[in-house]
Amino acid sequence: MTATSRAAAAAARAQHVRQRADRPSQRRCAEHAASRAVARVPASIELREKGDGGLLEFAGYATVYERGYEMWDMWGPYTEIVSAEAGAESLARGDLDVPLVLGHDQLRRLARTTTGTLELVEDDSGLSVRAPSLDPADHDVAYIVPKLRAGLIDEMSFAFRITAGQWSPDYTEYRISKYDIHRGDVAIVGYGANPATEAALRAPAAPSSRARALLEIALAR
C-alpha cells in the first residue's frame, strides 16, 4: 500500500466520519473486504514440559500495547494502536469467558478461562496469555506442538469488541482505549499484523534432570 493511497484513505475518512470517537467502519485485518476484524501479532514461541505427568505450558501475548499495526476500514488502511490497560474492565469480569484456540476456530479450543485452564493478565507489555496445563493427548494440542517447536507457527491474535476509541486528527491512526474480550478469543495463528508481540509455548525442565534442562534450552532458541 503506497503512502498516496494511505493519504487518500485518510482524506476520505476525514470527510465521512462524523466524530473522531466513531469506531472504524467495516474494520478488518487485510485489504480484502471479507477479511476478519482481528488483530494479529507475531510471536516467539517456546514449549515447556511439566515434570508431573507430561502436561505442557503455553505462555505469550495476544497483543502488545502502545505499538501500531496495520488494519483496514471501508476507505483503506490505517494504523491501529491498543492503549495500555485497555482491557482492564473486561478482564475483571467474574464471568469472563475466553478460550485459547487455533486460528480463531471456536471448535479447536486448547484452554478456557471458565475452566481455570487459561489466565489472561495485562502487564507492561500487553495482554499476557498463560495456559499452564495443556494435555498433549488432546488432538489439537498434539497437532500444534510440533509446529510450534519447529518454528513453523509463531504468531498470535485476539478477537474482541471495541467499546471506546478515537481517531487521530488526520484520520491515519485509530487508538483503542477500551475493548471487551468476553466471548472473544486469543488465538495461535499463522500470520500476524503487529510485529512487536511475543508468545511462548514452554517445556520447563525438572530440576533434577540434566537432559530436560538441555531440552528447555534447545526449545527456547
The domain spans of the chain are 3-220
Instruction: Give the residue-averaged pLDDT of 1-12.
Output: 84
pLDDT tens per residue across span 78-134: 999 999 999 999 999 999 999 999 999 999 999 999 999 999 999 998 999 999 999
Q: For residues 181 and 95, is the Cβ–Cβ distance under 8 A? A: no
Give yes or no for residue 154 having a pLDDT over 90. Answer: no
pLDDT at residue 32, as a whole number: 82
DSSP helix/strand/coil, 146: helix
What contacts 187, CB < 8 A, 6 or more positions away?
38, 62, 100, 101, 102, 103, 104, 156, 157, 158, 159
Instruction: Give the residue-averaged pLDDT of 10-19.
Output: 96
pLDDT at residue 35, as a whole number: 81
DSSP helix/strand/coil, 171: coil
Q: Which residues pair with 188 in a beta bridge?
A: 102, 156
**pTM of full prediction above 0.85:** no
Q: Is the dihedral of CA 64, 103, 89, 68 positive or negative?
A: positive
DSSP helix/strand/coil, 131: strand
pLDDT tens per residue across span 47-84: 677 666 689 999 888 998 999 989 999 999 999 999 99
Q: Residue with C-alpha cell 491498543? A: 82
